[in-house]
Amino acid sequence: MRLASWNINSVRLRIKSIINFIKNFNIDILCLQETKTEDRYFPIEDFKKNGYPFFHFTGQKSYNGVAVITKIPIIKNGIINWCGIAEARHVLVKLENNFLIHNFYVPAGGDIPDVKANPKFKYKLEFLKEMIDFFSKDTASCKVLAGDLNIAPSQYDVWSHNQLLNVVSYTEVERELLSKLIDRGKWVDIIRSNNKFDEKLYSWWSYRNKDWKKSNRGRRLDHIFVSQDLKPNVKMTQICKEIRGEIKPSDHVPIIVEFDL
């Protein structure tokens, strides 16, 4: 079973790229972030006619939006509005095979890493604290946390440790909160776990770089965490870097985990 997560930066704009990806990589479950569309415009029929009849999504016009599209029937679904704000940043599904999947789009946090000067940064930190509290108490097994968490965990997940220390997505406070989320939720960062601890891994390259491939100034902002009971079932992980080079791409690329069931 293959599960992928991708910040698509508009599901309607890039539907052809999505369909090509899920077919070419034989994806069973797709978690999308930044779908950027109201629910009534979500391209359900495009997925149905390509063999993905099950969905759970929440969206809004022009911003945010998350979705789970799957070949496997959904037996339970839900949405949590973190910090009490309905911004289409989370959906959860339980599949027929008992997999429980949380799909997140964590707030980016603005440009200034100061909670007093920047309400967006304060919101991001509060959002993460609520996630920590929730998963500290969650005893479910066979679960996955996927999505764009907008934080690079370590120096091996950014192109420059020194130059990004005071940049939102890599500040010390953000990395500490992400570490607490992993530890207290008893998660395994499976993309990192399946690669060398000091290997540079990126899933995002800014549109601002004229030649993203040459400069390679990336960050690993997209993640798939698995509960500890699932770690032995992980057969393969992959970051699909080549998709960043497609025509009119998202600035994020898909990440994949394959489970041996």
Rounded-to-integer distance, Cα 181 and Cα 175, Å? 10
Q: pLDDT tens digit string along 51-86? A: 999 999 999 999 999 999 999 999 999 999 999 999
Overall size of the chain counted in residues:
261
Listing DSSP states for 68-116 in one string gives EEESSPEEEEE---GGG--SS-EEEEEETTS-EEEEEE-----S---TT
Q: pLDDT tens digit string along 126-165? A: 999 999 999 999 999 999 999 999 999 999 999 999 999 9
Contact 181, 104 (CB under 8 A): no
Question: Is the predicted pLDDT of residue 201 greater than 90, yes or no?
Answer: yes
- Residue-range domains of the chain with CATH: 2-259 (3.60.10.10)
How high is the pLDDT of residue 23? Answer: 97
Question: Is the predicted pLDDT of residue 238 greater than 90, yes or no?
Answer: yes
- Token pair recorded at residue 119: 């309400």
Question: Is the predicted pLDDT of residue 19 greater than 90, yes or no?
Answer: yes
How high is the pLDDT of residue 114? Answer: 98
Q: Mean pLDDT, the chain, as a whole number? A: 98
Question: Is the predicted pLDDT of residue 240 greater than 90, yes or no?
Answer: yes
Question: Is the predicted pLDDT of residue 210 greater than 90, yes or no?
Answer: no
Contacts of 54 (CB under 8 A, 6+ apart): 69, 70, 71, 72, 73, 74
Q: pLDDT tens digit string along 86-116? A: 999 999 999 999 999 999 999 999 999 999 9
Rounded-to-integer distance, Cα 27 and Cα 19, Å? 10
- Beta bridge partners of residue 258, listed in sequence order: 2, 236
Question: Is the predicted pLDDT of residue 198 greater than 90, yes or no?
Answer: yes
